[in-house]
Chain A
């Protein structure tokens, strides 16, 4: 197996290929695309989905799904904003936002593991509950927290790169490390692959699942804090719809919806791909209405490409007999 073949067959292969193709298309189509300020903008706009998609990768890998992240983004931002209004120091307010996200994740995890309810239903319910709580908390009006309290998060610059991008890169590196090299990260993969075997190997299956939901909640809260900083205001519905985008980003990046496999940096790149697409379409002068259609097409293409690249192993080789080549019934 050549090195190229192996690289293409990696689960992150399709997202890299799709992203490079997009960049080439947009660079040819618009002279403004490949400028530092535009690249910086694309990166900053993608990082909210990047954070959520990384958390989603943990939950998907462990064999669950977290639909509540969209409203947790609102919760994280709202808690931080309200704490700032009440004169709490910025770092403590940010911690408060993260804690609120983590608490939601804990509630999700406990409801799912201790009561044995379905992941989809529990997180759909908390999506609704948390959104309602935020609406009540904010009286459904935008929160205008003291200006500049959070500005260091997204509007600072190091050279010509936003500080936000630096934070995002740090988070991607740290979370990739957690996913691949810590006992917790390995337990997440093991539980997702085969919970019975994981239990027999001495892994606390339910604890691991709860922790995955907490990770997802904290990262969604973090996305909420950054979004609050970026928009310099907080609205209850500011994260609505992010859950499906984040799942799409994670899966484009090579995470399996059936658990047991995932990639943190793949998910981040998946989010970046969607953000690049949005930016490029605007630069090409397409009407905003086209965005949904093209996004749908690109999601299908990128994931379909994954299937195609996986098939490379059979080129010029004897086919392995597999009775059921659907991929799976699920």
Chain B
């Protein structure tokens, strides 16, 4: 066990966990930030995506020992009250079905649009192809990312 100082959503947190604990489980089990989802555990589906220094990152395979002083943003910290352009677009397009993958999708989309504010649909597809949606909301995800880019 070791003490880690983490910067998450603009706040400092101290946790006492094993070095190999993935950031995902630190967020979910130790900090109560359960918006970040567990699904595959092997960086294949993207349900666990958070921002680490602005990069969309699979939190299920990132050990807490590798986070260091990086700034972590989770879905809970993406905006104060769901007013991030991507979140607004998600509501406008009414994207979600079961909703379980959506936090990861939104985090990936938000990081992507920061780097590429005016993407083509093909670029959106390439970026979002990292996230699985078992309900098949892909059409709406693509639409919502495009709308968020337009409305930013």
Instruction: Say if A and B assemble together.
Output: no
List B residues at the A interface (Cβ < 8 Å): none
List A residues at the B interface (Cβ < 8 Å): none
